Structure 1
Amino acid sequence: MNKEEIVQYVKDHPSGKVKIAVTDIDGILRGKYISVEKFLSVIDSNTGFCDVVFGWDAADVAYDNVEFTGWHSGYPDALAKLDLSTFRKIPWENDIPFFLAEIIDKSDQPSYVCPRQLLKRVLSDAKNAGYTPFFSQEFEWFNFAETPRSANEKQFRNLTPLTPGMFGYSILRSTLQNPFFTDIFQLLKKFDVPLEGLHTETGPGTIEAAIVYSEITEAADRAVLFKTAVKEIAYKHAIMATFMAKINENLPGCGGHVHQSLWDDTGKTNLFYDEKDNMKMSEIMKYYIAGQLHCLPYILPMFAPVINSFKRLVEGAWAPTTLTWGVDNRTVALRALPGSSKSCRLETRVIGSDVNPYLAMAAALASGLYGIRNKLDLKQAATTGNGYKDFSNGTLPKTLDEATQMMKHSKLAKEILGESFVRHFVQTREWEWKQHLKAVTDWEYKRYFEII
C-alpha cells in the first residue's frame, strides 16, 4: 500500500483507533492506541512516548545509573517518528492498523538509545560499502497451559507444559495442538511475518519457527513482531509462551539463531558464494566470519543480554561456548552454510531467543563488516568435530558481568556500534547484573537453608 491507501484504510477502519509501538532496549514492544485523528496529525511530524520506556528495565523498575533519562530529567516525552512502511493489520484484533515507530532527538536525528535506529545506522555502513544484507531469525520457545494469573499464583513454579515429553519434530504433538499451530502459521502470515517452517523442538511444549528471510530492517521488524505476536496468539488459546533462554537446567535452552548473507547493491548476487572456492565461500564471507569471531567477546551482551542468557551457554546443551566456526556444524558459534549461490549464508548460533532482534542483527552485521573492512584473514581452521572441545581460539565470557565489562572497556565495540549507544547499553546491563545480585533464589534455599 502507498501512503494514500494506508491513510484511507485507517480512516475507514471501524475501530476508530490505531496501535503504535516502539521497541525498548530489551526488545520489548512498548505501545499504545491512538485515535485516527491523532494518527492523521502526526504522520508527517512526530508523536511522543514518555522516555521512561528507555529509562527502566524489563520489570518497569527505573534505572538509577543511566544518563539518557531519570529522576534528574523529569522523564519528559521522547519524540517518536512513525514508519509508514511498517504498516500491518493485526488479524487477531479485527485487522486494526498497526505501525512501528522509532525514537529521534530534538534535532530530528536518530536517538542513540533506539535499537531500530542503531540497526539502520549499521545498515547504512553496509550500503555505503555496496552491500545489501539479507537476514532472518529463527526462534525456539516453551509454551505452558497457563495464564498470567495462574502462573503468578503458582509463583512460576510447577507450571504445566503445553505437552509432555521430549518430542522434537513430532507429528503427533503438532496434531494434538493443531489449533494453536494453525493460528501461529496462518495469523502470522496475515500479519506479514511469514514463516518458512514450524515444528516441535526437543522439550515439553517446545516449538521452533523459522521466519522467511528479507532485507535486514524488515527481518528485524519481523523478529520483534513475531515474539509479541506469538504471545498474543497464545493468550487466545489459554497458553503462555516464553522466550527465556533457559527455563530449566535439565532441559535444552532456546536459541534465536540469526542467518545472514551479503548481496550486491542490486540484491541479485550473493557475495558470500564462490563456486571456485573449495568450500564455496568467497573472500568476503571469510572476512565476515573472521570479523564476528574477533568481535564476539566484546559484543556478547548484544547476543546474550540478561542473567538467564548465560545459563543457556553451557557445554553440550546445543548452544556454543567456544569461539569456533565450522561448515554445517551445530556445535560451533558460527555455522557456515555454503550451499548454493541462492542459499549461501552464515548462522550465528550464539544468539538466544531472549535477545532484542534489532541489537542482535546490528551487532552481527557490524562485526562482520569490521572483518571485511580490515580484511581479517580467517586463519582459524573450521572445526570438524565437537566444537565444545575446540579451545584453539578461546571461549566466550561466562557471565553477564564479565561480558558487560569486556564490552564497556572495548574500543572495538565503541567503534562499530557507537560510543553513546555502548555507554547507555552497558549501563543497562550493569543495572541488570546488580538486580540479580540482590535476589535470593530457590537454589540458595535448597543448598543452604538447613545445612549452613
Structure 2
Amino acid sequence: MNQQEILSFIEQNDIKKIKYAFADIDGILRGKIIGRQKFIDGLSDSYGFCDVVWGWDSSDMPYDNGRTTGWHSGYPDAPVRLDLATFRQIPWEENIPFFLADFSQPEGNDLAACPRSLLKRIAAQCQSMGFHAEYAQEFEWFNFRETPQSLQEKDFRNLEPLTPGMFGYSILRPSLESAFYHDLFDLLSEFDIPLEGLHTETGPGVYEAAITHDDVVRAADKAILFKTAVREIAYRHGVVATFMAKWNAHLPGCSGHIHQSLWNQDKTNNLFYATDQPDRMSELMKQFIAGQLHCLPHITPMFAPTINSYKRLVEGAWAPTTVTWSVDNRTTALRVLNRNENYTRVEHRVSGSDSNPYLAIAAALASGLYGIRHQLTLDIPASVGNGYVDKQHGVLPANLHEATKAMANSPIATELFGSEFVDHFTRTRDWEWRQYVSQVSDWELKRYFEII
C-alpha cells in the first residue's frame, strides 16, 4: 500500500497504535510503539530516536572507543524514517501494524552505522550495473523449554531442550510440539515471511527454516524479522529460541546460509546459468564467486560477528574453514547449486545464524559485485571431496580479533563499504573482543584454580 492507502487503512480500522523497529549493528531489532498522531506527523519528516543505539553493544554497554556517538556528543536524537513498503500486521499481537525503519536520508547523507542503509546502497549499485539480485537466508536454531527468567536462575546451565536426542529431518519429533511447529509456519507466513521449508536438524530441539527468496533488501528484511518473530512465537509456547552460532561445544553449530543469484532487470533470465558452459556456470557467476573468495578474508566479521561465531567455524562441524568453492559440496565456503535455471544459485556457507542479515547479505552481494567490476578470473579450482583439507588458497580467520584486525586494515573493505562504516563496525567488533578477553571463564577456573 502507498502512504494514502495506509493512512486510510489506519483511519477506517480506528488503529490507535503502530509498532516500528530497525536493526542495530548486532542485528538486534530496536523500536517503539507510537500513537496514531505521532505516526502521521513523522511520515512527512522523520522520528527522533536516541543515537545511543549506535553507541552501545548488545547488552546496552556504551562503547569506550566509539566515534559515531558517545559521551563526547551527548547522545542526541538521530532521524529515523519508516519504510512504508515494509508494512505488515503482527498476527500474534492483535494484528498491530508494523513497519521496518532505517536511518537513510533523502539527501543521501545516510548514517554510516545503519546496516539497512548500507544494504540499500549496495543494492542500488547492483541495480545500476544492470542486475536484479535475488536472495534468501536460511537459519538453524535451538529451542528450549525455558523462560528468560529460568535461563538467568539456571545461569544458562542444565537447560531442557524442546526434544531429546539427535534426529535430523524427523517427521516424528515435530508432532510432540505440533502447535508450536505449525504456528511457526503459519504465523510467519501471515507476517509476510513465507517459508520454503521447516524441519528438524540434527541435535536436541533444533529446527531449520528456509525463507522464500526475494529481492535482496526484502530478503534481508524477512531474515531480520524472522529471528525476532521466531523468538516471540516461541515465547507464546513456553519456549526460548537461541540463534547462537554454537551454544554447546558437543553439538553442531547453527548456520545462516545465504542463497544468492543475479537476474536481468525483468527477472526473466538467471544470469548465473549457462547450458553451454562447464558445470552450467556462466562467466558472470564465475566472476561473482571469484570476488566473494577474494574478499572473504577481508570481511569475515560481516558473516561471523561474535566471539561465539568462530566456535562454529571449525573443521568437521558442517561449517567451512577454508577459502574454497565447489558444486554441491557442503564442506566448502561457497556451494554452487545449478540443476536448473530457476534454482541456480550460490550458497554462501560462512554466515552463522548469529549474523546480522543486513550486513551478511550486504557483504555477500558487495563482494560478488567486486568480482564482476574487476572482471576477476575464478582461478581457484573447485574443491573435490573434503574442503577442510583444501587450504592452499587460504583459511578463514581463527577468531574475532584476527578477523577484525584484517578488516580494519583492508583497503578492499573500505572500497566495498566506505571508510566510515568500516571504522565504526570494526571498532564495535574490537570492543566485543576486549569484553571477552577481560573475563575469567569456567574452563579457566576448572583447569587452573587448584593445581596450577
> 1:109, CA displacement in angstroms?
2.5
C-alpha distance in structure 2 between counterparts of 1:295 and 1:435, whole Å:
27
User: 1:72 maps to which residue?
Assistant: 72
**1:313-328 to 2 correspondence within 5 Å?**
313-328=313-328
In the TM superposition, residue 5 of structure 1 has moved relative to its aligned partner by 2.2
Q: Structure 2 matches for 1:434-445, cutoff 5 A?
A: 434-445=434-445
2:355 is aligned with 1:355: yes
Secondary structure of 2:92's match? Answer: helix
Name 1:413's counterpart in structure 2. Answer: 413
- What is the match of residue 158 of structure 1? 158
User: Structure 1 CA distance, aligned partners of 2:105 and 2:125?
Assistant: 21
Aligned to 2:197: 197
The answer to whether the aligner puts 1:430 opposite 2:419 as a matched pair is no
Q: CA deviation at 1:4?
A: 2.2
- Name 2:17's counterpart in structure 1: 17
**Aligned partners of 2:15 and 2:36 also within 8 Å:** no
Distance 2:108 2:382 in 1: 46
Distance 1:410 1:169 in 2: 41
Give 2:170's aligned residue: 170
Question: What are the residue-to-residue correspondences of 1:269-280 with 2, within 5 Å?
Answer: 269-280=269-280
Shift of 1:108: 6.0
Aligned partners of 1:242, 1:446: CA distance in 2, in Å? 26
Is the aligned partner of 1:188 residue 2:188?
A: yes
1:35 positional shift? 0.1
After superposition, residues 46-445 of structure 1 pair within 5 angstroms as 46-104=46-104, 109-445=109-445
Write out per-residue CA displacement over residues 388-410 of structure 1, whole angstroms, 9 at most, x where no aligned residue. Answer: 11112111010100000000000
Quote the offset at 1:417 in angstroms. Answer: 1.0
Question: Are the structure 2 counterparts of residues 56 and 105 from structure 1 closer, same or farther at C-alpha, using a change threshold of 3 Å?
Answer: farther
**Partners in 1 of 2:167 and 2:62 — Cα distance?**
41
In the TM superposition, what is the alpha-carbon distance from 1:9 to its structure 2 partner?
2.2
Gaps of 5+ in 1: none
Shift of residue 313, structure 1, vs aligned partner: 0.3
| Cα distance in structure 2, aligned partners of 1:47 and 1:369 | 34
Residue 376 of structure 1 and its aligned partner are, at CA, apart by 0.8
**Offset, 1:272:** 0.4
Aligned-residue offset at 1:175 = 0.8
What's the counterpart of residue 6 of structure 1? 6
TM-fit CA distance, 1:279:
0.5
Structure-2 separation of matches of 1:429 and 1:353: 17
1:105 is displaced (CA, Å) by 5.9
Contact 2:139 2:257 in 1 (8 A): yes
Aligned-pair Cα RMSD in Å = 1.1
Three-state SS of the structure 2 residue aligned to 1:268 is coil
**Hey, what's the Cα distance between the residues in 2 that align with 1:447 and 1:11?**
64
Offset from partner CA, 1:170-222 (integer Å, 9 cap, x none): 11111111111100000000000000000000010000000000000000000
Give the total of aligned pairs: 452
Give the drift of 1:41.
0.7
Q: Give the distance between the partners of 1:176 and 1:364, measured in 2 at CA.
A: 37
Q: Secondary structure at the match of 1:92?
A: coil
Question: Does the aligned pair in 1 maintain the 2:322–2:388 contact within 8 Å?
Answer: yes
In 2: Cα distance, 1:188 partner to 1:429 partner: 31
Q: After superposition, give the CA deviation of every residue in 1:105-132 in whole Å (9 maximum; x if it has no partner).
A: 6966321111000001111111111011
Letter in 2 for 1:88: R
Asked if the contact 1:11–1:36 (Cα under 8 Å) also holds between the matched residues in 2, the reply is no
2:102 touches 2:117 (CA, 8 Å); kept in 1? yes
TM-score, length-normalised on structure 2?
Answer: 0.99
Q: Deviations over 1:13-47 (max 9, x none)?
A: 45510001111000000011000110011112101
- Aligned partners of 1:78 and 1:104 also within 8 Å: no
Q: Residue 235 of structure 2 aligns to which amino acid in structure 1? A: Y
How far apart, CA to CA, are the structure 1 residues paired with 2:90 and 2:207?
22
CA distance in 1, matches of 2:14, 2:184: 25
Paired residues of 1:78 and 1:105 also in contact (CA < 8 A):
no
Once the two structures are superposed, residues 302-341 of structure 1 have per-residue CA deviations (whole angstroms, 9 ceiling, x without a partner) of 0000100000000000000011100000000000112211
Change (3 A) 1:6 1:443: same
What is the identity percentage for the equivalent residue pairs of Structure 1 and Structure 2?
60
CA distance in 2, matches of 1:421, 1:126: 19
The 1-side partners of 2:380 and 2:108 are apart by: 44
SS in 2 for 1:6: helix
Whole-angstrom distance in 1 between the partners of 2:270 and 2:300: 27
Taking the aligned partners of 1:260 and 1:172, their CA distance within structure 2 comes to: 32
Where 2:103 maps in the other structure, the secondary structure is strand
User: Structure 2 CA distance, aligned partners of 1:403 and 1:147?
Assistant: 34
State the partner residue of 2:45.
45
Q: Is the 8 A contact 1:13 1:96 kept in 2?
A: no
**SS of residue matched to 1:178:** helix
Structure-2 separation of matches of 1:362 and 1:10: 33
Identify unmatched segments of 5+ residues in structure 2: none
SS, match of residue 177 in structure 1: helix
Q: Partner of 1:84: helix, strand, or coil? A: strand
Q: What's the CA shift for 1:12? A: 3.9
Secondary structure at 1:186 match in 2: helix
Q: Distance in 1 between matches of 2:13 and 2:229?
A: 21
Q: Amino acid of the residue matched to residue 349 of structure 2?
A: R
Name the CA shift for 1:92/1:216 in 2 (closer, same or farther; >3 Å): same
Task: Give the TM-score of the pair, scaled to structure 1.
Answer: 0.99
